[in-house]
Amino acid sequence: MNIAIAQSGGPTCAINASLVGVFKQGLLTKEIDAIFGSINGIEGIINDELLNLKSMIKTNEDMELLRQTPSTMLGSCRYKLPEMETNPEVYEKILHTLQLHRIEIFIYIGGNDSMDTVVKLSAYLDSVQSGINVIGVPKTIDNDLPVTDHTPGFGSAAKYVSATVQEIIRDSSVYSIPSVTIIEIMGRQAGWLTASTCVLRANGEEAPHLIYLPEAGFSAERFIEDVRKEMAKHKAVIVAVSEGVILPDADEFQSGAVDNFGHKYLSGIGKYLEHLVSEKIGCKVRSIELNVMQRCSSHICSKTDIDEAERIGRHALTAALEGNTGKMMYFRRVSEMPYAVTIEMTEAENVANKEKCFPREWISPDRNQVTDTAISYFLPLIQGEVNILMKNGLPVHFQRPLQMR
Amino acid sequence: MNIAIAQSGGPTCAINASLVGVFKQGLLTKEIDAIFGSINGIEGIINDELLNLKSMIKTNEDMELLRQTPSTMLGSCRYKLPEMETNPEVYEKILHTLQLHRIEIFIYIGGNDSMDTVVKLSAYLDSVQSGINVIGVPKTIDNDLPVTDHTPGFGSAAKYVSATVQEIIRDSSVYSIPSVTIIEIMGRQAGWLTASTCVLRANGEEAPHLIYLPEAGFSAERFIEDVRKEMAKHKAVIVAVSEGVILPDADEFQSGAVDNFGHKYLSGIGKYLEHLVSEKIGCKVRSIELNVMQRCSSHICSKTDIDEAERIGRHALTAALEGNTGKMMYFRRVSEMPYAVTIEMTEAENVANKEKCFPREWISPDRNQVTDTAISYFLPLIQGEVNILMKNGLPVHFQRPLQMR
Q: What is the pLDDT along chain B (405 residues), one digit of tens a residue?
A: 999 999 999 999 999 999 999 999 999 999 999 999 999 999 999 999 999 999 999 999 999 999 999 999 999 998 999 999 999 999 999 999 999 999 999 999 999 899 999 999 999 999 999 999 999 999 999 999 999 999 999 999 999 999 999 999 999 999 889 999 999 999 989 999 999 999 999 999 999 999 999 999 999 999 999 999 999 999 999 999 999 998 765 544 444 444 344 444 345 899 999 999 999 999 999 999 999 999 999 999 999 999 999 999 999 999 999 999 999 999 999 998 899 999 999 999 999 989 999 999 999 999 999 999 999 999 999 999 999 999 999 999 998 887 777
Estimate the crossing angle of helix B60-67 against helix B15-28, to 10 degrees: 150
Task: Report the predicted TM-score, pTM, of the whole model to 2 decimal places.
Answer: 0.95
B166 at interface of A, judged by CB pairs closer than 8 A = yes
- The rounded distance, in Å, linking the Cα atoms of B372 and B202 is 9
- The rounded distance, in Å, linking the Cα atoms of A287 and A294 is 16
Half-sphere exposure of A157 (CA within 13 A, CB side): 33
- The rounded distance, in Å, linking the Cα atoms of B252 and A329 is 52
Q: Quickly count: other Cβ atoms within 10 Å of residue B147's Cβ.
A: 18
Torsion, CA A18, CA B162, CA B362, CA B219, rounded to 10: 90
The complex scores an ipTM of: 0.95
Catalytic center residues of A: 142
Half-sphere exposure of A341 (CA within 13 A, CB side): 23
Residue B62 appears among annotated catalytic residues: no
- The rounded distance, in Å, linking the Cα atoms of A289 and B293 is 10
- The rounded distance, in Å, linking the Cα atoms of A299 and B277 is 30
Domain annotation for chain A: domains and CATH numbers:
2-140+299-353+387-404 (3.40.50.450), 154-296 (3.40.50.460)
Contact status, residue A141 vs residue A157, Cβ threshold 8 Å: yes
**High-pLDDT (> 70) share of chain A, %:** 95
Query: Which residues make beta-bridge pairs with A109?
Result: A7, A137
Which residue spans within A159-235 are E strands per DSSP? 179-185, 210-212
Of all residues in chain B, the one with the smallest CA distance to A173 is: B75
Burial class of residue A34 in the structure, from the number of CB atoms within 10 Å of its CB (0-12 exposed, 13-18 middle, 19+ buried): middle
The distance of Cα B47 from the centroid of its chain, to the nearest Å, equals: 26
Option in A70, A168, A393 nearest B382 (CB)? A393
Contact status, residue A99 vs residue A130, Cβ threshold 8 Å: yes
What confidence score (pLDDT) does residue B401 get? 82
Of all residues in chain A, the one with the smallest CA distance to B269 is: A259
Question: What is the helix (H) or strand (E) element at residue A152, kind and residue range?
Answer: none
Backbone angles phi, psi at B281, to 5 degrees: -110, -40
Estimate the crossing angle of helix A220-233 against helix A269-280, to 10 degrees: 70
What confidence score (pLDDT) does residue A268 get? 85
Q: How far apart are the first and last CA of chain B?
A: 26
Burial class of residue B28 in the structure, from the number of CB atoms within 10 Å of its CB (0-12 exposed, 13-18 middle, 19+ buried): exposed
Which 8-state DSSP code applies to residue A252? G
Instruction: Give the burial string for A215-231 (b: 16+ CB within 10 Å, else e).
Output: bbebeeeebbebbeebb
A384·B393 Cβ contact <8 A = yes
Residue contacts between A and B (CB atoms, under 8 Å): 171
What residues in A contact B72, CB-CB < 8 Å? 174
Question: How far, CA to CA in Å, does A318 sit from each of A37, A343, A403?
Answer: 18, 11, 32
Option in B279, B298, B399 nearest A167 (CB)? B298
Phi-psi map region of A65: left, alpha, beta (phi>0 left; psi -120 to 50 alpha): alpha
Of B281, B286, B270, B178, nearest in space to B221 by CA:
B281
User: What is the SS3 assignment for A263?
Assistant: coil
What confidence score (pLDDT) does residue A176 get? 83
- The rounded distance, in Å, linking the Cα atoms of A35 and A103 is 9
* Residues within 8 A of B (CB atoms), A 63-82 only: 69-72, 75-78
What does DSSP say about strands A327-335 and A340-347: parallel, antiparallel, or unpaired?
antiparallel
B43·A176 Cβ contact <8 A = yes
Question: How far, CA to CA in Å, does A360 sit from each of A191, A218, A243, A287, A366?
Answer: 11, 14, 18, 27, 12
Instruction: Give the burial string for A243-275 (b: 16+ CB within 10 Å, else e).
Output: bbbebeeeeebeeeeebeeeeebebbbbbbbbb
Contact status, residue A150 vs residue A343, Cβ threshold 8 Å: no
- The rounded distance, in Å, linking the Cα atoms of A270 and B118 is 39
Closest approach of B292 to chain A, Cα-based (Å): 7
Positive or negative, the Cα torsion across A116, A120, A121, A123? positive
Contact status, residue A94 vs residue A121, Cβ threshold 8 Å: yes
Option in A162, A261, A393 nearest B384 (CB)? A393
B71·A174 Cβ contact <8 A = yes
